[in-house]
Chain A
Amino acid sequence: MSLSRRDFLKFGSATAAGVAVAGEALDLAPVEAAATSLKIKEAKAVRSVCPYCAVGCGQLIYAKDGKIIDIEGDPDTPHTLGRLCPKGAATIQLSNNPLRPTKALYRAPGSDTWEEKPLDWMYDQIARRYYDAREKHFIEKEKNKDGLAVTVNRLDAIASLGSACADNEECYLLSKLNRTFGIVYHEHQARV
């Protein structure tokens, strides 16, 4: 989606006055010209959804040169009308944040530090842990209450938690992985 003037004026439609404001001829005094360039004017805008509570406020994310420069409410959203709460208004700092690790990290048993590791190494190691746990602890058959052996194909040694922060598609993929792998300790925030 490219940012059009129409998108800007949406705010105004919430208060009739706003539209008229935009319609006013803007005859800038020289002193004001420098202060009135709009940082998001040349930015790419995409439609998004606030990642905090479950009201699901529509957001517009403005990005320039691969960096997010502004996130605000999407006025078209019928149930939120472009409004945000403080968390929604702070969403930009989830992305632009110096505290955010951008490398995969490993902490060895007993160590008191993290080590940066390549992604490929991490995936191999994690997969190996999953594999070993499954090979060692998998329960193929188990006796039922009547003492008969029943196929259960269950893995009790691995638990999975999360997440209500993940997208629907991601939740489905995790359900698919856990269940086809045999995992039953399979939960997320809705339980607590």
Chain B
Amino acid sequence: MTTNLIDIQNSDVIMATSNMAENHPVGFQWVMKAKERGAKFIHVDPRFTRTSAAADIHVPIRSGTNIAFFGGLINYAIQNNLYFKDYVVHYTNAPYLIDPAFKTATDGNGLFTGFDAAKGTYDRTSWKYQLDGEGNPKRDLTLKDPNSVFQLMRRHYSRYTPQMVERVCGIPQAKFEEVAKLFCSNSGPEKTGTITYALNLTQHTNGVENIRALCMLQLLLGNIGRPGGGVTALRGHANVQGATDLELLYHELPGYMAQPLRDAHPDLTAYLEKETPKGGFWVNKPKFFVSLLKAFYGDAATKDNEFGYQWLPKRASADAYSHQHIFVDMYNGVIKGFLALGQNPAVGGPNAKLARSAMQRLDWLVVKDIFLTETAEVWKAPGTDPKTVKTEVFFMPAAPAAEKDGSLTNTMRLIQWHEKAVNPPGDVTSDAEFVCTLAQRLQKLYAGSKKERDRGFLAASFKYGSNPNEPEMVEVLKEVNGYATEEIVDKDGKPVYKKGQALSSFAHMTDDGKTAGGCWIYTGVTVEDADGKLINKANARKPADEKDYLGHGWGFAWPANRRILYNRAAADLAGKPWSEKKKLIWWDAEAPGNAPDKKGKWVGLDVPDFNPFLAPDAKNGDKPFIMRTDLVGGFFGPLNDGPFPEHYEPIESPVKNLLSKQQNNPVAKIWKVPDQKNELAGVGSTDYPYVITTYRLTEHHLSGVMSRYLPMLAELHYSHFTEISHELAKELGLTNGDMVTVMTPRGKIHVRAMVTNRFKPFIIDGKTVHQIGVPWHWGYNGIEQLPGSKGDITNDLSATVGDPNVYIQETKAFVCNVKKGVV
């Protein structure tokens, strides 16, 4: 999330593409506050939800057509001259010239230049800037050059007319134009708008391009980095942001640095050379990476052994090890042992039937959770004879946040500490205690090993504080934050850091082993006062006030406690706020500079996301997007599936793609799984004629582990259900409350039909397309007294297919059939 929930109140228009009122109700108060201040609220969603109920306009959209919608808005803004020209010309790559060999999907009938049909990938040679004699990208500030990013974008989206949006998305043209006008006209120096998204946009075979399309619209309207603007990414789990930052993800190490690849990164030098860009803030990556190696391997990491680089596992391929790869490879016998810690893939992941079958083939399974999840009891799954499941299962009871110290990072990058209120009961342990105890037992088993491959693991310390069995969480946070591994002195020999002292800024990290730090972006979360006492800023508890509406004294937002990213863009080229109404940070030419004889500093209502002393007229003083190599916002941004988002139909769709000959994302990931475990329906399948989407409810949480076992929550819905329009119910002869069977080529579930006005059929290119919806919180465990707390697993319906960049599944749009009764 580039912005901050509090700041939504400054928006003039808010477009929710997520179901924010239901899934983030407390954050939604800022939308309501904005509304009371006169903002308009638009909800774009296939379903009429509790968010729609609060909206000025609800825009029903067929699931899986978001790029057609955003593309339509981009086209509308360009055609009607509603984009923020000064911002676009100076803060984005719109004026940059692209290699003339590159052609958009408008010219390639749905494909960009370079598609290799045999390999199923793009050759991206032409997807690059034209460079001048000095190696700088060529620009045309008039935006008229046909090879400029702006003109290519215009041409690419010229097909995305309001008529086309109606045909593809099922949004009546008049409604689309009403919304387009409302959203796009709230742009410019005096106005801003924000867009929310969540898994509605990500769970598609073009999930990343969906987000890019949203970001491009926001760049075009000059909304990034400004009050009331930004991208409101609403994450679903208490620490899904933190778990991503600390990288419980196959492809990266903490702090968003690539997990080494066998072929590309044989040694540290090759790694740093390939992974460190030539411009932007990431030029500092070697400092962050070496500090991470020092945090992992301690004193054993030295310059002579590449700081332990070779001890890290290297990936055999970039197309491997993701969530969906895990269950395919587990089914195929590659994976023998599995730890499910606070996650319930028997219910919560795509193609859950495959996941359960795969887990039933394991040698052993360790589950750490608060309740006995379906994953822990996978050997009891309906239709399974426990005798046939040879998997050993170890269940370790887990402690919720109330029973341990620690920090959680929320959706706005805000790290907040929670204190232990009571001890966990019985043999319940925290996850930290489990990991540290297991690690130390393993180190005991490896004690004395002289093998090089074991040295790194033996060097890693899992002792934090005085008691080896009870790690001190604040000590772990300090390692994440970073510290000096030896005394560090400045150029005059004056001590800057004592050995072991917490670093106050990632700017102080070095690539020579003198600093260690587990996640550079978190640096500053723990600092030391003059007496050497550790101050945990995640536990800072100063409420917001009129002088500081963003609440900088509450917790610590990474990076460097800044609350709105790219906020240099809130000021114009000269460093003045675009308008008084939308001021955030600005250049104060009279403020004391970074030396006694210098003046000038960025000041304002937030921590500048910029070199605080770099004047607007200095070199790159007008380029706000400091994390990018070219320092500007990227309309043209090469991903595996193209430099501009292009609409393709979901892998399973009732209709043909109307925008091009290319039906699906040409580089989407489709797994082949043995034993018919991943069958797919063809385009326009008559066996599976309806679109289905899956989602969450306010009263439940994800796979239900934290809600189905809680009577206060489980009693709020009678049972599992599917939402169906009156029109479809009539066709199927259903009345509200009938049991129905929902089926796909992967599986079927039995649920109750909730017939409602909140679902309506779509008219797609003149033809009626029905869509149903099914929440996915239910599984075979729950509360005995509440039979409805148990139910069939919605994810038994979904497929093992994925986005080509990040391999997320397509659970927001696929096809199904519905039959009355239990069949």
Tell me the A residues contacting B by CB distance below 8 Å.
1, 44, 46-59, 61-63, 66-68, 71, 76-81, 83-91, 93-95, 97, 99-112, 114, 118-119, 122-131, 133, 137-138, 140, 142, 144-146, 150-177, 179-192
Question: Judging by beta carbons under 8 Å apart, are B410 and A47 in contact?
Answer: no
Q: Which residues of A contact B441 (CB under 8 A)?
A: 123-124, 126-127
B5 contacts A79, CB within 8 Å?
yes
Shortest CB–CB separation between residue A78 and chain B, in angstroms?
3
What DSSP secondary structure best describes chain A's contact surface?
Answer: mixed
Q: Which residues of A contact B188 (CB under 8 A)?
A: none
A78 B6 Cβ-Cβ under 8 A: yes
Instruction: Provide the B744-786 mask, 1 if CB < 8 A to any CB of A, else 0.
Output: 0000000000000000000000000000000000000001000
Is B581's beta carbon under 8 Å from chain A?
A: no
Known: A51-B400, A100-B371, A170-B430. A107 touches B322 (CB 8 A): no
Q: Are B248 and A163 in contact (CB under 8 A)?
A: yes
Q: Mark B224-236, 1 if CB is under 8 A from A, else 0.
A: 0000000000111
Q: Which residue of A lies closest to B308 (CB)?
A: A180
Interface readout for B306-320 with A: 1 if CB under 8 Å, 0 if not? 000011111110001
Does A104 lie within 8 Å of B336, measured CB to CB? no
In the bound complex, CA of A174 to CA of B4 (Å): 29
User: Across the two chains, which residue of chain B brings its CB closest to A107?
Assistant: B393
User: Which residue on A lies nearest to B4, using beta carbons?
Assistant: A79
Chain B residues whose CB sits within 8 angstroms of the CB of A152 once the complex forms: 262, 313-314, 316
Q: B595 in the interface, Cβ–Cβ < 8 Å?
A: no
Contacts A/B (CB < 8 Å), 21 sampled: A52-B237, A53-B235, A66-B422, A99-B372, A101-B371, A106-B393, A112-B386, A126-B394, A129-B337, A150-B314, A161-B343, A165-B239, A167-B242, A167-B404, A167-B406, A173-B435, A180-B297, A185-B250, A187-B326, A188-B244, A191-B806
Complex A-B, nearest 8 residue pairs according to Cβ-Cβ distance, in ascending order: A163-B342, A56-B410, A102-B426, A167-B406, A78-B551, A162-B343, A164-B237, A78-B544
Q: Say whether A190 contacts B401, CB under 8 Å.
A: no
Task: Determine whether B425 belongs to the interface, using a CB cutoff of 8 Å to chain A.
Answer: yes
Question: Contacts A77-B554, A87-B707, A130-B337 given: A103-B370 contact, CB under 8 Å?
Answer: no
Q: Which of B132-140, B281-289, B453-461, B672-680 contacts A (4 or more CB under 8 A)?
A: B453-461
The complex places the Cα of A162 from the Cα of B431 at a distance, in Å, of: 11
B310 touches A177 (CB 8 A): no
The residue among B203, B411, B419, B442 with the most chain A CB atoms within 10 A of its own CB is B442
Closest to B429 in A: A119
Q: Flag if B390 contacts A192 (CB, 8 Å).
A: no
Decide yes or no whether B379 CB sits under 8 A from chain A.
yes
Q: Given A153-B310, A157-B334, A122–B394 Cβ distance below 8 Å? A: yes
Contact partner of B408 among A110, A127, A168, CB < 8 A? A168
- Contact partner, A63, options B29, B421, B522, Cβ 8 Å: B421
Q: Which residues of B contact A192 (CB under 8 A)?
A: 203, 323, 348-350, 808-809
Residues of A within 8 A of B203 (CB): 192
Q: How far is the CB of A109 from chain B (nearest CB, A)?
A: 4
Asked whether B386 lies within 8 Å of A110 as measured between CB atoms, the reply is yes
Known contacts A55-B410, A81-B29, A142-B316; A86/B713 CB under 8 A = yes
Q: Are A101 and B348 in contact (CB under 8 A)?
A: no
8 Å CB contact of A161 from B326, B372, B379, B698:
B326
Min CB gap B427→A, angstroms: 5
Question: Knowing A51-B706, A168-B246, A189-B348 touch, does A83 contact B418 (C-beta < 8 A)?
Answer: no
Q: How far is the CA of A163 from the CA of B338 in the complex (A)?
A: 14
Alpha-carbon gap, A52 to B171, bound state (A): 34
Known pairs A52-B701, A133-B336; list 20 more (Cβ under 8 Å).
A48-B401, A51-B400, A51-B401, A51-B408, A52-B237, A58-B416, A62-B421, A77-B554, A79-B5, A87-B700, A88-B26, A99-B709, A101-B395, A127-B442, A150-B262, A162-B342, A184-B259, A184-B320, A192-B348, A192-B808
- Contact with B402, one of A56, A95, A104, A128 (Cβ below 8 angstroms): A95
Interface string of B25-40 (1 = CB under 8 A from A): 1110110000000000
Nearest opposing residue in chain A for B259, CB measure: A184
Q: How far is the CA of A124 from the CA of B480 in the complex (A)?
A: 28
Residues from chain B with a CB closer than 8 A to the CB of A110 are 386-390
Taking the closest CB of chain B, its distance from the CB of A7, in whole angstroms, is 12
Q: Are A79 and B551 in contact (CB under 8 A)?
A: yes
For B374, the chain A residues whose CB sits under 8 A away are none
B30, B339, B430: the one contacting A160 at CB < 8 Å is: B339
Q: Which residue of chain A has its CB nearest to the CB of B342?
A: A163
B378 (CB) vs chain A CBs: closest residue: A107
B394 to chain A, nearest CB (A): 5
Q: Give the complex CA separation of A131 and B457 in angstroms.
A: 12
A97, B242: Cα distance in complex, Å: 27
Q: By the criterion CB–CB under 8 Å, are A153 and B476 in contact?
A: no
Contact of A187 among B250, B295, B402 (CB under 8 A): B250
Q: A76-B541, A77-B554, A167-B473 are in contact. Are A112 and B387 (CB under 8 A)?
A: yes
Shortest distance between the CB of A19 and any CB in chain B (Å)? 15
Given A61-B402, A154-B316, A170-B432, verify A102-B397 contact (CB < 8 Å): yes
Determine which of B296, B343, B439 lies in contact with A188 in the assembled complex, contact meaning CB atoms within 8 Å. Answer: B343
Give the most central of B334, B400, B430, B462: most A CB within 10 Å: B400
Residues A184 and B341 in contact in the complex (CB < 8 Å), given A68-B421, A99-B783, A102-B397: no
Whether B234 contacts A54 by the Cβ 8 Å rule is: yes
User: Which residue on chain B has the smallest CB distance to residue A75?
Assistant: B543
CA distance A186 to B460 in the complex (A): 18
Select one of A157, A160, A162, A171 contacting B336, CB under 8 A. Answer: A157
A89 to B702, CA, bound (A): 17
Q: Quick one: given A161-B323, A183-B313, are A168 and B402 in contact (CB under 8 Å)?
A: no
Task: Digitize B327-355: 1 where CB-to-A-CB distance is under 8 Å, 0 elsewhere.
Answer: 00110001111111111010011100000
